[in-house]
């Protein structure tokens, strides 16, 4: 079959299977997740072998070190996927949960009950563990999922999907509810984005270019996360040890992910003490610091900063999601300037303040317009698993439906359920035989 027929087959199969999922109970869903976890362990060598194929091809194409890190699987990351499956299995099933109920004066009992979104298309780049995270959440929330990973990890994703399908077959879950777009043909995405008759929502995870392209072309709702320009503000009343550890962790621990900081904002009163110290550690880690005029002057004249690469910052650097060992630095006069800077240059993802002043911390929490705002902690914690959600479908910077890490409950929506005992509106029922039938035309307007 041609690419259009192939993609339509995947989408229609997912839609048909999703309707069947409403009859599957929590026990079957959990059994599927736990079996998939067992298979990941049993087939670890096969997974690593397929991932090695992707890595060699990526190296041949000259991918950056940061991107290679996103592609790579190892024992620790496979163990992380196993943990995700076990964690999601242990979470309460949100499907069918009645979240509220009230009684009207006429006796009607009205409530809201959680139901699946339906069929979800997730388009993602680089990280193959997204395959497991997305599928696990969809399985538990009774959504069908269509997985479209990047061509750079097609071998890794293929073996992971095979494991999920095997677990589904062995556990009584509908195998067709987990679909994988097994092609490098870019036209597949364009076709999928027009299939709103099959697909209920699309979630893109990747670079800003991918997300904007999906948002502009999709006919179905899109849950977006354009980019992660995260900021750390070191206040004049910061604890120096906390500030150094947080600034180092948030940039260096894994710079290629969306919750790593890209901008370091420092209060002028602490800049001469803090900046040379963090520059010393950044230098050892190979971080390039793109500095405003004041921070550049401080660091150029300090011997602790001898090993770090210093570059004058340009305006556009503060908007940039580097996803690499690069950080832009800005010195500010006060908290107001810091908040204004973050709200202007940040992407509404995750931002943190280091301060021992409670009032300043709470002002930062209240006034920074982001999905996750921290006091005295690294932005690297913005993650579904770290937040206790089991896993995440992505981190939304939207302000509709969900904002921040999109976990299990966020893959459901409420629908109204109404319990009655024969109530009719305005007592307008079947007329008695002796009554003349009169039609109230205003009924059509209500």
**Could you state, in chain order, the average pLDDT of each consecutive group of 10 residues for the chain (446 residues)?**
94 96 96 98 98 96 88 96 96 96 97 97 93 96 97 97 98 97 95 97 88 94 88 98 98 93 98 97 97 97 89 97 95 98 97 98 98 97 89 85 90 96 92 66 58
CA distance 279 to 264: 11
- 137 Cβ contact list (under 8 Å, min separation 6): 88, 143, 390, 391, 392, 393, 407, 408, 411
* CA distances in angstroms from 177 to 133, 171, 241, 328, listed in the order given: 15, 13, 49, 44
- From first CA to last CA, the distance across the chain in angstroms is 49
Nearest to 188 by CA among 162, 208, 165, 214: 214
Position 438 scores a pLDDT of 62
Tallying the residues shown for the chain, one arrives at 446
Convert 253-300 into a string of H (helix), E (strand) and C (coil). CCCCCCCCEEEEEEEHHHHHHHHHHHHHHHHHHCCEEEECHHHHHHHH
8 Å CB contact between 199 and 321: no
Position 147 scores a pLDDT of 98
CA distance 237 to 268: 11
pTM of structure: 0.84
Q: 309 forms bridges with which residues in the sheet?
A: 288
DSSP of 199-261: -SEEEEES-HHHHHHHHHH-SS-B-------EEEEE-TT--HHHHHHHHHHHHHS-TTSTTSE
**Count of Cβ atoms closer than 10 Å to residue 63 Cβ:** 17
Domains of the chain: residue spans and CATH: 3-223+406-417 (3.40.605.10), 230-381 (3.40.309.10)
8 Å CB contact between 327 and 282: yes
Exposure of 321 by Cβ count < 10 A (0-12 exposed, 13-18 middle, 19+ buried)?
middle
CA distance 337 to 320: 19
Q: How is residue 22 annotated by DSSP?
A: T
Token pair, residue 205, equals 């995870």
* CA distances in angstroms from 200 to 7, 74, 97, 352, 400, listed in the order given: 15, 34, 21, 34, 15
Q: How is residue 92 annotated by DSSP?
A: P
């Amino acid at each position: 079959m041609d690419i259009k027929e192939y993609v339509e087959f995947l989408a229609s199969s997912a839609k048909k299977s999703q309707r069947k999922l409403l009859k599957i109970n929590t026990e079957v869903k959990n059994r599927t997740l736990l079996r998939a976890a067992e298979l990941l362990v049993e087939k670890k060598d096969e997974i690593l072998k397929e991932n090695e194929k992707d890595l060699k091809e990526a190296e041949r194409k000259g991918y950056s070190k940061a991107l290679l890190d996103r592609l790579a699987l190892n024992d620790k990351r496979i163990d992380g996927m196993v943990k995700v499956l076990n964690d999601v299995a242990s979470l309460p099933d949100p499907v069918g949960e009645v979240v509220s109920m009230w009684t009207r004066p006429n006796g009607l009992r009205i409530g809201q009950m959680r139901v699946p979104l339906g069929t979800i298309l997730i388009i993602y780049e680089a990280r193959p563990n997204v395959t497991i995270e997305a599928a696990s959440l969809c399985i538990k929330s009774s959504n069908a999922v269509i997985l479209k990973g990047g061509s750079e990890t097609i071998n890794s994703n293929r073996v992971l999907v095979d494991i999920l399908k095997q677990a589904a077959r062995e556990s009584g879950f509908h195998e067709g509810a987990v679909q994988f777009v097994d092609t490098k043909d870019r036209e597949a995405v364009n076709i999928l984005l027009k299939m709103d008759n099959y697909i209920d929502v699309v979630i893109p995870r990747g670079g800003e270019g991918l997300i904007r392209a999906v948002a502009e072309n999709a006919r179905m709702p899109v849950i977006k996360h354009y980019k992660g320009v995260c900021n750390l503000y070191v206040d004049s009343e910061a604890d120096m040890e906390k500030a150094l550890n947080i600034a180092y962790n948030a940039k260096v621990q894994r710079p290629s992910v969306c919750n790593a900081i890209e901008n370091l904002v420092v209060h002028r009163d602490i800049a001469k003490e803090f900046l040379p110290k963090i520059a010393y550690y950044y230098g050892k880690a190979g971080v390039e610091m793109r500095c405003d005029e004041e921070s550049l002057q401080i660091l150029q004249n300090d011997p602790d900063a001898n090993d770090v690469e210093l570059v004058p910052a340009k305006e556009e650097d503060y908007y940039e999601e580097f996803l690499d060992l690069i950080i832009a630095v800005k010195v500010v006069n006060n908290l107001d300037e810091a908040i204004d800077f973050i709200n202007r240059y940040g992407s509404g993802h995750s931002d943190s303040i280091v301060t021992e002043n409670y009032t300043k911390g709470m002002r930062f929490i209240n006034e920074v317009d982001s999905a996750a705002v921290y006091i005295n902690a690294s932005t690297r914690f913005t993650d579904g698993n770290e937040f206790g959600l089991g896993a995440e479908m992505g981190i939304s910077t939207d302000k509709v439906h969900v904002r921040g890490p999109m976990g299990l409950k966020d893959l459901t929506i409420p629908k109204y359920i109404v319990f009655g005992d024969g109530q009719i509106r305005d007592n307008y029922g079947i007329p008695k035989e002796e009554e003349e039938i009169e039609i109230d035309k205003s009924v059509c307007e209500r």
